[in-house]
Amino acid sequence: MSVNASPPYGGGYPDAQGGHDPYAGQGAYPGQGAYADGQGGYAGPGQGGYADPAQGTYADHAQGAYGGPGTYADPGQYADPAAYAGAPGQQQAQAAEPVAPKQVAPKPVDPEPPADEPEAEADAPEDSKGGRLVTAVTFLLPTLLAFAMIWRGIGDRQLWRDEHATWWAATLSFHDLSLLIRSIDVVFTPYYVVMHVWIAIAGDSPTAMRIPGAVAMAASAGLLALLGRRLFTTQAGILAGLAVAVMPFTTRYGQEIRPYAFAVAAVLLSTLLLARALDKPSFKVWVAYTLSVPLIGWSHLASMAVLGAHLVIIVIARRAGDKIVGWAYAAAFTLGMCFVVPMAVSGSGQSGQIAWNNPGVEDLMDFPKNLFGSWAVAVPVMALGALGLFFAGRMALPLAVWIVLPPVATYVTAAQLHLFLPRYLQFTAPAWVLLAAVAVVRLAGPVAGAKAGTGAVARRGFGWVLVAAAVAGVAFQSLPGIRETRQNALGEPDYRGAAQLIEAGQKKGDGIVFSGVQTERRAMDFELRDDAGRPKDWLMYRTPQERGSFDAAECPHPAKCLAKADRLWLVSTTLDGKPFSGMPTTSAAVIQRSFKVVKTKKLTYLQLVLLERTRAATDSSEEKDDAAKRKVHT
């Protein structure tokens, strides 16, 4: 009898033969040696069960019975039929020669699941059910809503200084762009190249240039919905996607001609691909994740901090028993970073361009408001997000790292890297929203674990009611912030108004000069880009293209450079109200001496001054010929 086999039924039937094992020939239960399925019965079709010559074959369909119908062996298989002779209540059997047991190959039988336990599909997460239609709806609903919110008034708001920089860099030739990135903004090179191609196709109107960012930000809402569906439930995913779609920061950065919307989309896409690779691993998915890593770095270097959350996900998966995932992630991370590190190293030498960004305690305290667009949105989302950590299961730690690590790391290193800015860290906001959605949907049923999304139909219906109510509440709280985002950026001068006044009153031969500490020249270049008769920039000595910079070099000899100018339009953004205080001293002195103010128009954060050359300045510029004083040859 095998040492691994179960003991004979009832320990055998001892008799006068000294505890003879009546089933010695059976070797216990051939091929089994254990109780099957924890039902308390001995499984095994054709395994020589317990036959009673008097009662025939047992057929018991109830749980806990031995085997099943037709699984008990013929009585003739037992080695010693006389073993039953001494047992009480058993029939006497005729003595017979021992018969060798029949060798019957066991046939696997899948036991029927107990009637009172749910099927395997019922225990599976809700996200494993449904097909492509559910996935498409989950993605499209938030995407379309977000795009509708972004599209409204997309061309109304004026460009601000950073958007002017995007326009300038993206309209340069590739040769001039290569000269620019050697000194500044090398980390934005992929974005500038994309925008260069787009502007060549669609034009450089504010609406046209904002379409790529609008598409990226709208897609981010859909990607967040898919991520929430995969990690939690469909309800949690759709709630998160719809909530993001109506928040102020979505409209703001969806209408921004900068790479921040692309950074949010890249982070969500990469995280979704990682979750997909862990759920249903395949070579193609891991390749897609590998390609998504450089997309994160190319959109914005600060976004690379999300890889810390990805690493936590990998560690959790490895501790759960996945031995391959560590190697797969290491390969994907290494290959992906090969496309980012060279750009990051080059950009490290250009950090001086954002050296002005030295955040203090006040900036840290205002971070939530600036991240979400208003306190009315930030407070409830972050409060619910903190609560959602208790219901997020194994994803609680990765999501916590996602939302905490980037701002903490950039704030601590702000003196060296200068990267603590809400717009640089916009990719952390979706993680907050996803956790908030988890907290809300948890009221209707489980959102994590094997039974995520399961429950009665009434509870599921209640969950969808919560989703609708939560989206409506977020939209209501977001309205003031959305209205603010559609206005001109705070503190930005009204360059569009100045351009309209110049175009209405300009004459042939007019010139234009600038005073202030902002990017007045670049802003007016954009606003007057379609004006063939635009005023000439008399004081520009070297163009930005020649310098490989965003800024031109001022003329070192302003009197000589302005000698042929009769009228000047002065665009001043000085804060002290003195239009000449923001100019080089020499240039201001020459203009004030040679020109007189004709009229002044005050706009938002801007003064437009029209100057005309004085007659005295014109007369003094030429020496008079006095014949009486002329020397003659005698």
Residue 501 structure tokens: 């006044």
At 128 the pLDDT is 47
User: How far are the Cα atoms of 133, 150, 244, 377 from residue 372, in angstroms, in the given order?
Assistant: 31, 15, 10, 6
Position 148 pLDDT exceeds 50: yes
Instruction: Look at 619 and 484; give whichever has higher pLDDT.
Output: 484
Give SS3 for 274: helix
Residue recorded with tokens 């609560």 = 387
Q: What is the pLDDT of residue 62?
A: 37
Asked whether residue 73 carries a pLDDT value surpassing 70, the answer given is: no
The answer, yes or no, to whether residue 116 has pLDDT greater than 50, is no
Q: Name the band, by pLDDT with cuts 50, 70 and 90, for residue 620.
A: very low
pLDDT of residue 247: 97
Using CA atoms of 304, 306, 307, 309 in order, give the dihedral in degrees to the nearest 10.
160
Mean pLDDT for all residues in the chain: 82
Residue 588: count other Cβ atoms within 10 Å of its Cβ.
Answer: 19
Mean pLDDT score, 238-250: 97
CA atoms within 13 A on the CB side of 22: 26
pTM of the model: 0.77
**Bridge partners (DSSP) listed for residue 56:** 52
**Residues near 67 by Cβ (< 8 Å), separated by ≥ 6?**
41, 42, 43, 44, 45, 47, 49, 58
d(CA 258, CA 253): 8
Name the band, by pLDDT with cuts 50, 70 and 90, for residue 347: confident
Residue 129 has pLDDT above 70, yes or no: no
212 has a pLDDT exceeding 90? yes
Sign of CA dihedral 211, 150, 425, 138: negative
Taking Cα atoms as reference points, which of 527, 545, 525, 548 lies closest to residue 537? 525
Cα dihedral 580, 582, 585, 588, rounded to 10, equals: -30
> Does 587 have pLDDT greater than 80?
yes
Q: If you average pLDDT over residues 610-622, what whole number do you get?
A: 69
In the structure encoding, which two tokens stand for residue 280, read together?
């249903």
